[in-house]
A and B are shown apart, each in its own frame.
Chain A
C-alpha cells in the first residue's frame, strides 16, 4: 500500500473535479470564493502548522492586499495581473513589518502583537478615504489579463483563478518539502535545539512569516478580482478567527487540512440556511428553518468540539487513523 500514490491520486481527483466543476453545474463564483479561502488557509497553515507561530491578525494581509489590488485595478486602471502582483507585494510588505515587530517575542505575546497590529490596520482602513470605509471599495472591474484575456466571463475567470491557486498551492508544497521547510518544522518542534544547531531561527521565522503573508495577500487580491469589491470584513479580526477555525477543523500541519477546513467553513456560512430548510422539509421540524440565522452558533459549536475532541482536525484524524491501520496490518506480518 503506497500512501504517496494514494495522496497523489487524491489530489489528482480533486483537481479533475475542480476543472469539471462549472460543467457539472457548480456556481463558478462560489467555487472561486472557496479556492481563495483555501489558499488563505493554506498560507496560514504554513505559519501555524509548520512553523508553530499563531498569528492572530492574518486578516490584515488578506484585507490589506485586497484593498491594494482593488485600488490598483479600479483607480489606477492597471491590468489584473499587475493588480494581483501589487496586492501580493503589499501582503509581503505588511508581513515584513508585522513579522519584524512580532517575532521579537514568543508564544502568546507574539500572537497579541499580531492582533494589535492587525487592529491598527483595521482602523487605518476604516479611516482612510481610499478604502471607502464602511461602504468598501466597490465596482472593481475584472479587466483583461495581460491586456488580452477578457475576465468578464465567469468561466474564463474561473480557470485563470484555478491556475493561480494551484500554482500557489504547489509553491507551498515545494516549500514544505524543501530544506527550508525542514528547518521550519525543526523550529516548531524545538526552537532552542534549532538555535543550538546554529540556525538563525529569527530569520527563518521572519521568512516564513513574509511568505505566509504574501500568499494570504494573493488570496485576498484574487478574491477582490473575482467578487469585484474589498470591504472591512476582510480586515476585521473575525476573518482572522475564521482562518484559524478553518485550519483547526481541517487539520494543523497537514497539507490537505486547510483545503477541507476552508471548504467546510465557507459551505457552512453560505449554505446553512438551505441546509436548515432541507432538514426542516425532511423532518418537519420548524426550528431547523432558523438554522440560517445561527451561523455564529454552529461555528462556535464546531470550534468547541474540535478543540476538545478533534484537535488534529478532519484530515489529521483521517491520516492518523490510516497510519494506525497500516501499523496494525504490518504488525500482523
Chain B
C-alpha cells in the first residue's frame, strides 16, 4: 500500500482541487513557506531574547544576519573555508561583534526611552550595510550549495532541493535547543529572573551586566547562524537583512515580545501562511503579515503568547 519511494508520495494524496488550485501546487508552496518560516523563526527568536532581557528593540538584527551571510561568502572566496566550518565560525565572530556593540554602544542607552535603542540600532544597521555596500555594491554575490546537500528529492508534487530541507531541520533544532536552554536550564532561569528583577538577581551574586552582554552576543550569533543558512538560498547582498527585518519585527510583535516559544511558532506559522497566500492571492503575500500584526495588536496587544508587562 505504501509507495516504495518518495517519487510516488503524491499518489497518497487525494486528487482534489481547492478553490481551483491543485493540491500539489498548494503543498509545494506551503513547504516553501516553511523554509521562509524557518528564517523568520530563528531571527525572531534572537530578537525576542534580546528584547526580553535588554528591553532593546534590536533593529540591527537584519544587518547581523547579513553579516553572517557575507562572512560566509568572504570565507569561501578569500580563504576557502567551507560552509560547515562557517556554521560555527560565523556565529562566533558575529557574537564577538555583538559583545563590542553592547559594551561600547548599547550600555549608554538602557536608561532611556525605547525609542533611542531603536534609533541607535537603526543607525548601526545603516552603518554596517553602508560599509559592505561601498565595497560590494548592491548586486548579489553567488554562493554555491555545499556539496553534501546538493541535489534534490522528488516528492512527486514537487522537487524539493535537499538544501532547503536542511534549512528547516537545522532551524528547528536550533530553535528547540534555545528554547530548552532558556526555559528548562539553570542558566535560562537566571536569564529570565534577570529580566524580571535585575537588582534582586544581582544581589544573589549573578553578574547581570555580563549576562546582558552575553545575551546580546547570543542573539547576534543566532542572527548570523540564520545568515549562514541563507547564503545558498538568497542572494548575498548588503540589503538582504533590510527586507527581512521588518517582517521579523511583525513576527515578534504577533508572537509576543518576550515569548520565546511564541516567536518560534509564530515565525514558522507565518511562513506557512505566506506560502498559502502566495497560492491564492500572490500580491498580498507580503502584506498579510502586517494585516495580522495590526489585528493582533488591536485585540491582544501583548501578542498571541506574550504576557502584558
Contact = CB atoms under 8 A, between A and B. Distances in A.
B109 A308 contact: yes
A24 interface: no
Q: Is the interface of A mostly helix, strand, loop or mixed?
A: helix
Given A123-B286, A304-B123, A296 B130 contact: yes
Q: Is the interface of B mostly helix, strand, loop or mixed?
A: helix
Contact of A237 (B112, B246, B287): B246
A120 B290 contact: yes
Contacts of B127: 296-297, 300-301, 303-304
A298 B109 contact: no
A297 B118 CA distance: 17
Instruction: Bin chain B's interface residue count.
Output: 35 or more
Nearest to A123: B287
A82 B296 CA distance: 39
A12 B122 CA distance: 36
Interface residues of A, number: 39
A199 to B, nearest CB: 22
A112 interface: yes
Contact of A297 (B105, B133, B301): B133
A120 B134 contact: no
Interface in A288-308: 290, 293-304, 306-308
Given A115-B246, A297-B131, A303 B293 contact: no
A311 B283 CA distance: 41
A54 B115 CA distance: 8
Interface string B232-251: 00000000000000100110
Interface string B116-135: 10111011111111110110
B291 interface: yes
Interface in A27-54: 54
B57 to A, nearest CB: 7
- Which of A105, A107, A295, A300 has the largest number of chain B CB atoms within 10 A? A300
B162 to A, nearest CB: 33
B58 to A, nearest CB: 13
A304 B283 contact: no
A10 B126 CA distance: 34
Nearest to A48: B115
Interface string B214-227: 00000000000000
Contacts of B291: 116, 120
A113 B299 CA distance: 12
A306 B291 CA distance: 33
B105 A304 contact: yes
A293 B137 CA distance: 9
B290 A116 contact: yes
A101 B294 contact: yes
A117 to B, nearest CB: 7
B116 A311 contact: yes
B307 interface: no
A185 to B, nearest CB: 17
Interface string B31-54: 000000000000000000000000
A94 to B, nearest CB: 14
A301 B133 contact: no
B16 interface: no
B215 to A, nearest CB: 19
B119 A248 contact: yes
A267 interface: no
A236 to B, nearest CB: 10
A272 to B, nearest CB: 11
A104 interface: yes
Contacts of B1: none
A241 B298 contact: no
A301 B123 contact: yes
A109 interface: yes
Interface of A: 54, 101, 104-105, 107-109, 111-113, 115-117, 119-120, 123-124, 127, 237, 241, 244, 248, 290, 293-304, 306-308, 311
21 contacts: A113-B294, A115-B249, A116-B297, A117-B294, A120-B291, A123-B283, A127-B283, A237-B246, A290-B134, A294-B130, A294-B134, A296-B127, A297-B133, A297-B134, A300-B129, A301-B123, A303-B124, A304-B127, A307-B116, A308-B105, A308-B108
The 3 A-B pairs with the shortest beta carbon distances in the complex, nearest first, are A303-B123, A297-B130, A300-B126
